[in-house]
Amino acid sequence: MDYVTDTHGLIWYLTEDKRLGKNAFLVFSKADKGDAIVIVPTIVLAEIIYICERKRKDLEIKSIVDKIKNSTNYLPYSLNMDIIDKVITLKEISDMHDRIIIAISLISGATLISKDEEIIKSKIVRTIW
């Protein structure tokens, strides 16, 4: 099974934050071992850059980007017109970044790694945390 990660999931995994859900942790651990695919929307990487710069998180963003670029189990997914078409239909989700991430999950057929209550309650995509 493939997964799409949101920003919280990936950054909390990388920083070993205890707020990361047990099931989310297991998915990332499987990906690190080569047993799962985690799709990483490029908007998630942009948000992580912003968080690292603003909050001075103890992460080296270049090493994160290099890990994803050189991995066969973490796949970057860029914004494209198919995603834009899907985003237009997701008006019930208030945050534009979340709409993009959900659209990628829908288009790829992957389960979304997210703790976001609005996304979970919407039941638009399968989620895991």
CA distance 30 to 28: 5
Q: Yes or no: say if 115 and 25 are a contact pair by the CB < 8 Å rule.
A: no
If you average pLDDT over residues 6-35, what whole number do you get? 95
> Six-digit token pair at 76?
């970057």
Flag whether pLDDT at 56 surpasses 80: no
pLDDT confidence of residue 57: 60
Average of per-residue pLDDT across 22-36: 97
Give yes or no for a contact between 42 and 5, defined as CB atoms under 8 angstroms apart: no
Domains and CATH numbers, the chain: 2-128 (3.40.50.1010)
The pLDDT-based confidence of 58 (bands split at 50, 70, 90) is low
Residues 48-76: what's their mean pLDDT?
84
Average pLDDT score over residue span 41-47: 95
Residue 120 has pLDDT above 90, yes or no: yes
